[in-house]
Structure 1
Amino acid sequence: MHVMTRCKIKPDEVEHVLELLGAVYDELASVQPDGLRYATFQLEDKVTLVSFVELQDGPEMLQQLKAFQRYRTSLDQVCDEPPVTTVLHEIGAYRFH
Structure 2
Amino acid sequence: MKHMVSYKLKPDCVEENERLAKAVYEALEQARPQGLRYATFKLEDGVSFIHMVAHSEADGSNALTSLPAFKAFSAGVKERCEVPPHRVQLTEIGSYGFFGE
TM bin, normalised by shorter chain, reads over 0.9
Aligned residue in 1 for 2:84 = 82
CA distance in structure 2 between the partners assigned to 1:16 and 1:31 by the alignment: 23
Aligned residue in 2 for 1:92 = 94
CA distance in structure 1 between the partners assigned to 2:79 and 2:72 by the alignment: 12
Query: Structure 2 unaligned runs (5+)?
Result: none
Cα separation, partners in 2 of 1:59 and 1:80, compared to 1, 3 Å = farther
Q: In the TM superposition, what is the alpha-carbon distance from 1:34 to its structure 2 partner?
A: 0.4
Same amino acid, percent of matched pairs: 41
CA distance in structure 1 between the partners assigned to 2:97 and 2:82 by the alignment: 34
Q: In the TM superposition, what is the alpha-carbon distance from 1:43 to its structure 2 partner?
A: 0.3
Does the CA-based 8 Å contact 2:55-2:62 persist in structure 1?
no
User: Does residue 16 of the first structure (1) align with residue 16 of the second (2)?
Assistant: yes
CA distance in structure 2 between the partners assigned to 1:59 and 1:17 by the alignment: 25
Aligned residue in 2 for 1:28 = 28
Structure 1 residues 54-97: Cα deviation after superposition (integer angstroms, max 9, x where no partner): 11013531111000001111111100011000010000112222
Q: In the TM superposition, what is the alpha-carbon distance from 1:45 to its structure 2 partner?
A: 0.3
CA distance in structure 1 between the partners assigned to 2:64 and 2:22 by the alignment: 15
Query: Structure 1 unaligned runs (5+)?
Result: none
Q: TM (normalized to structure 2)?
A: 0.92
Runs of 4+ in 1 over 4 A off after TM superposition: none
